[in-house]
Structure 1
Amino acid sequence: MGGTTMRSKAPVVFSLLALFALALGTNVSGITGAATTYKIGFVYPTLNNPFFVDAQAGSDQAGKDFGATVTHVSGDNDVKKQVQLVENFIAKKVDAIILQAVDTQGVISVIKEANDARIAVFTPGESPAGGKVVTSVVFNEVKTGSAMADYLVKVAKIKPNSKVVMLLGIQGTETARNRQDGFKKTLMAECPGCQIVAEQPADFDRAKGLTVMEAILQAQPKIDVVWAANDEMALGALRAITEANRQKEIVLVGTDGIGDARTAIAAGHLAATYALPPFLQGYMVTETAIKYLQGVKVCGKIEERGLIITPSNVKDAERLLKAVDARSRYWESCYSK
């Protein structure tokens, strides 16, 4: 009797353990329908920028949370290399490709190659100009630039006749163009007496931000405000301004909200940055790709939300920029139940 009873209960116990493991996303050997781990290729403009390093961390976290292995590669800000990297992922037959394009025109043909191979494509940042993309996770970059101009005029209370320097990103990219256009249009509308005394590209690069700002400081005896289209350039400019001993006369603001910029704000060296949470960007686009592969109907676009970081909220910034708890998941509406 005892042996018969144990044998009859064993399948039930094993089934209950299997269901429990599946609920936790654990693969149980021999159980049909165990959680699938998808393979995703993620192509970045570069991985030599803290913004994209944070995005990589967010992507890896989403892969861990929802069931995917993500391979991350850098395009080194070269669209031709990005095309080759996407083609490599197509050849490896990954389940999905995430591509943040250096050139939105230059990736159209390779996106179509992925479409023909029936590999789903997802994009954070800039939206490609062609090819089929399942979901784009985007910032409104015009608003990004506009928000910092609005902050300078209404919150920082810059002088109505301020002399302003603009440090621009990589010219020809959608992000650079939209950020600088948004900033300039809003600044001129809200501060018609302000004068832009220099607009120089520093290519989203800290070292170039330093050298470009050094030249501007030598050419411009009076500067009230410096706006940088990303934090890397702002931090380069900060060094140049500090070495020239002109930090007391200049209000310096950046864009992106990277860790070094937040540290500079806490130390009183940077006035503010408009944070575009890269961790959440990587997390959202990867989660969305996995949900799609799992058969969930997903939306075509998720617009990310930014946050102006100042000395008043910088202590909470790390938490706010990486929040994926139920209350913070504003992108949940992208997924059909």
Structure 2
Amino acid sequence: MHLSLSLLKRSLVRNIGIIAILSLILSACGGGGSSSNNTGSSSNPSCTPGSNTKLVKISKAHKIAWSQNALDGAWRFAEEASIEQQAQQHGYQLLKANANNSDVQQVQDIETLINDRPDVLLVDPHTEDAEAKAILDARKACIPVIVVDRDVNESLATPGRDFATFIGSDFNKQGQLAADALIESLGGPSTKATIVELSGTTGSSPAILRGGGFDGELASKAPGIKIVAEQTANFARATGQQVMSTLIQQYPNIKGVFAHNDEMAIGAITALKASGKHPGSDIKVVSIDGTKDAVNLVLSGEEYAVVQSNPRLGPLVFQTLDQYLKGQDLPAWVVQQDKVFKKADGSAAAYLPDAF
């Protein structure tokens, strides 16, 4: 009995040692389900970073990267706050970068964020073409991308393959709505008048599509209203004022101004008043965004209408992300719905408390 007990003890000690060694080996190899290493392929081990050729599918996320093209006005600050609030509400860690209106900087930002190995990358591209390659790099690194607000050139990066979806407003429709409002303000489709157009950042999707929507609608519905000058003012108030100061000297008899965003319109109104014009009376102004400053100009009568471009994209972005993580099919474009605000119908006054 003593011998059998001694052998049993030695066998038990030997087995405990083997179990301990196996545990150390498994730990060194990353065994177990509590690893905190959030790589882009952590939720999809079949994806090989560096050679991935299609959109990766994941079912969970903890770390979200956010590449913002600029923080330079009420619209951008409202968008940024919306993304931050929704990320916090959903319990995500948010890595942020601000490119300060620079394509070069944003490409560098995206590459840096890719190296941080987020589970998902959100990108609001400065222009359509410049950030496309960096989005492809994220796909190759097994990191799914959602494009927000401004689209990327879809001939260079394809939704459903290179990125999950685009979430944003219908910029072309915004341009059409702006044209309809300006036509109305000038007296209707039979009106004959000259106007100028202040466009946004060259190469950006809102500048391209708002301009295209406006120009097409104007030509088809009111061919007697002619655009005598179109010049970029880079979505900036100060630049809008400078450009308008020059244009009003060159074209003193214009009857209308279309600005691709509110900031440029506000600058233009300042320039028109400084030149002795009376915005809202002898010159009608229409713009796009829906900032509080612009809506107040509508209520004062100095601007005829503002077409909304809602910056509070956070709820729609994270709702769409939840759908993606659940494996639901996403459309190529998730559309943010917008409205038109005027003084005459009371819509501007009703919207003002919610303006940004």
Q: TM-score normalised to the size of structure 2?
A: 0.74
- Give the Cα–Cα distance (whole angstroms) in 2 for the partners of residues 40 and 110 of structure 1: 16
Question: How many residues are matched?
Answer: 285
Q: Which residue of 2 aligns with 1:22?
A: none
Q: 1:72 to 1:242 in 2, by over 3 A?
A: farther
Matched, 1:292 2:324: yes
Shift of 1:188: 1.6
Q: Are 2:169 and 1:142 equivalent residues in the alignment?
A: no
Within-5 A mapping of 1:39-58 = 39-58=63-82
Whichever residue aligns with residue 136 of structure 2, its letter is: K
- 2:5 paired residue number: none
Q: Residues 67 and 290 of structure 1 are in contact (CA less than 8 Å); yes or no, is this contact kept in structure 2?
A: no
Corresponding residue of 2:294: 261
Do the aligned partners of residues 319 and 283 (structure 1) sit closer, same or farther apart at CA in structure 2, a change above 3 Å counting?
farther
- Asked whether 1:202 is paired with 2:244, we answer no
CA distance in 2, matches of 1:58, 1:81: 23
Name the CA distance, whole Å, in 2 between partners of 1:110 and 1:97. 11
SS of equivalent residue, structure 1 residue 303: strand
Q: Distance in 2 between matches of 1:286 and 1:319?
A: 25
Between Structure 1 and Structure 2, the one with more helix by share is: 1
The answer to whether 1:186 aligns with 2:220 is no
Which of 142, 149, 156 is matched with 1:125 structurally?
149
CA RMSD of aligned residues (A): 2.2
Unaligned segments of structure 2, at least 5 residues: 1-59
Deviates more, 1:228-237 or 1:45-54: 45-54
Amino acid at match of 2:108: Q
| SS of residue in 2 equivalent to 1:278 | coil
Name the aligned partner's letter for residue 252 of structure 1.
V
* Partner Cα separation in structure 1 for residue 198 and residue 355 of structure 2: 24
Residue 316 of structure 1 is matched in structure 2 by 350
Work out whether 1:170 is the aligned partner of 2:204: no
Structure 1 residue runs without a partner (length 5+): 1-35, 323-337
Write the letter of the residue equivalent to 2:180.
D
- Residues 38, 223 of structure 1: alpha-carbon distance in 2 compared, 3 angstrom cutoff: same
Shift of residue 93, structure 1, vs aligned partner: 1.5
Corresponding residue to 1:278 among 288, 300, 311: 311
Aligned with residue 224 of structure 1, among 249, 255, 260: 255
Could you tell me which residue of structure 2 aligns to residue 106 of structure 1? Answer: 130
Note the C-alpha offset of 1:219. Answer: 1.2
* Separation (CA, whole Å) in 1 of partners of 2:66 and 2:200: 23
Is 2:181–2:286's contact at 8 Å kept on the other side of the alignment? no
Alignment partner, residue 16 of structure 2: none
Q: 2:337 — aligned with what?
A: 305
Q: CA deviation at 1:37?
A: 7.7
233-242 or 85-94, which moves further after superposition? 85-94
Percent identity over the alignment? 26
Cα separation, 1, equivalents of 2:317 and 2:119: 14
Q: Which has the larger radius of gyration?
A: 2
1:241-262 per-residue CA deviation (whole Å, 9 max, x = no partner) reads 1212212311111111122212
Q: Which residue of 1 aligns with 2:12?
A: none
Shift of 1:230: 0.7
